[in-house]
Chains A and B, each alone.
Chain A
Amino acid sequence: MGIPSLAAMLIAAMIAVAVLGSGENAIFMPGLLEGLWLTLRITVAGAVLAVVMALVAALAKLYGPKPVRWLAIAYIEFFRGTSALVQLFWLFFVLPDFGILMEPFTVAVVTLGLNVGAYGAEVVRGAIQGVTRGQWEATTALNMTRVQALRRIILPQALVAMIPPWGNLLIDLLKTTALVSTITMSDLTFKARTLNDATLKTIQIFTLAFLMYLIVSLAITIGMRYLDRMAVRGMVRGRGGA
């Protein structure tokens, strides 16, 4: 969908929330917005961890010495191969048995960050490997070291190429935050459920929660599209030749 269509949807959703959330439904809004705030905090913190893990794991997998490479591969395969909810439950229910006690917020951020980071590592790796070989050869011809080539020439181009897939991953992260409601964290989904249990105004509450997720999601998508547009300015992606 083009940016105008997405923007139209975003505005429509915001109007719907304003309309639905007024009058007799207005009492739900503070609770839901509180939940939304927690959702956003987990999303942002998780995103930071995910990006860091993705970069580290991808570089380790591509250029690290053997043991480091194996560690990176194990991390990636494990977190991609298991369900996010299972990871969340395991860290929440099982770790205390090992004597490791963490605040629910930390459990949430760590689980989501590691999970999305594993998917992100493959995105980063794909983007680095997608930079044309000719760029590497030019750096050899100019007698640059591998590190200099990576830092100055390859990674900048890879970073531009990975913006669209990262947009999708951030949306996935947002969607996965809903799972923390199952470990009793007061995120948007949890608030919706408790408000529903209390008032049984099911349709209004869940519709409002649904729309709020949609709004954040669309905002992220539009934001990433703009980021992508700016990054490509003047530059043909990843190639310096015919």
Chain B
Amino acid sequence: MNANLEPMVKFESVTKRYGPLTVLDDLNLEIRRGEKVAIIGPSGSGKTTVLRMLMTLERIDGGVIWVDGEPLTHVQRGSGMAPADPKHLRRVRAKIGMVFQHFNLFPHMNALANCIEAPVTVLGMKKREAEERAAELLDMVGLADKKGHYPAQLSGGQQQRVAIARALAMRPKVMLFDEVTSALDPELCGEVLQVIRKLGSEHDLTMLMVTHQMGFAKEFADRVCFFYRGKICEQGEPQQLFSAPQNERTRQFLRAVMDAV
């Protein structure tokens, strides 16, 4: 019972700098188990960096990220924190999965092979078992008949759905979605969002998504965070944030986004 009270992901005073530019400034953010959080904001606000640091694709310049009660890139030593060794890092990182804006499928493998590669190589799963699980996942994302297809033979929406199945094959506890529909033609977004919706309702996943799909965020997310210049400007339940934003900047952003529709 205690475990349920601890946040699944916690950013504790996290800072990220690129040279003289501070991209994330003393960020404090807690995400509960099973919570679905949408991160919105203008470009350069640091929202993608949040995901990338959690996935250890970027280094942290200050603060600590906690995942499932443990620090991600540090280990506790005595009263302080020391940088984590690779073994610890990989162990904690295993709980996180990510879907990318540009899919990043392995082009020399078909859909099924993409989904079994990591389970076999990293988890040591038997090939037969991995293939069965991958087939299930591809079926869940609606691509059972495309198992043998190569990425070049699939549409953008189909590729992204394979990417989701691939990430799920590693049984992560946290799923990160980095603008996963931004590279898709508008008519292909729906199929991907549908899969994400399904994931949200059928699985117990903690989901963190950077998105420009305001409509989807409003209907799907438990909480929306509006980022501005490296800080959380405003956050709250989607109903409240979208219809009655309290911060002027939030209002400006939402107005600009809605105007563009």
Contacting pair A152 B117 (CB below 8 A): yes
**Inside 8 A of B106's CB, which chain A residues have their CB?**
135, 138, 153, 240
Question: Which of A71-79, A141-149, A171-179 lines the interface with chain B?
Answer: A141-149
B55 contacts the other chain (Cβ, under 8 Å)?
A: yes
Contacting pair B152 A134 (CB below 8 A): no
Which of the four size classes fits the interface of chain B? 20 to 34
**Inside 8 A of B90's CB, which chain A residues have their CB?**
143, 145
Interface residues of B in 59-118 (CB under 8 A from A): 90, 93-94, 96-98, 100, 102-108, 117-118
| Contacts A142-B122, A157-B108, A235-B150 given; does A241 touch B55 at CB 8 Å | no
**Inside 8 A of B122's CB, which chain A residues have their CB?**
142-145, 148
**Inside 8 A of A240's CB, which chain B residues have their CB?**
103-107, 151, 159
Interface residues of A in 184-242 (CB under 8 A from B): 234-242
For chain A, the count of residues having a C-beta within 8 Å of the partner chain is 26
**Inside 8 A of B221's CB, which chain A residues have their CB?**
none
Selected from B100, B151, B166, B170, the residue in CB contact (under 8 A) with A137 is B100
Contacting pair A141 B55 (CB below 8 A): yes
**Inside 8 A of A138's CB, which chain B residues have their CB?**
100, 104-106
| Contacts A135-B106, A137-B57 given; does A235 touch B152 at CB 8 Å | yes
Contacting pair B108 A143 (CB below 8 A): no
Contacting pair A142 B152 (CB below 8 A): no
Distance to closest chain A CB from B127 (angstroms): 14
A140 contacts the other chain (Cβ, under 8 Å)?
A: yes
Interface residues of B in 161-175 (CB under 8 A from A): 166-167, 170
Contacting pair A142 B167 (CB below 8 A): yes
Selected from B93, B102, B117, the residue in CB contact (under 8 A) with A134 is B102
| Contacts A134-B104, A160-B108, A240-B105 given; does A143 touch B117 at CB 8 Å | no
Contacting pair A242 B121 (CB below 8 A): no
Task: Give the distance in Å from the alpha carbon of A144 to the alpha carbon of B118 in the complex.
Answer: 7
Task: Give the distance in Å from the alpha carbon of A148 to the alpha carbon of B86 in the complex.
Answer: 14
- Other A-B pairs beyond A142-B117, A143-B93, A240-B103, 6, CB < 8 Å: A141-B97, A142-B122, A143-B118, A144-B122, A240-B104, A241-B100
* Chain A contacts to B: CB under 8 angstroms: 132, 134-135, 137-138, 140-145, 148, 152-153, 156-157, 160, 234-242
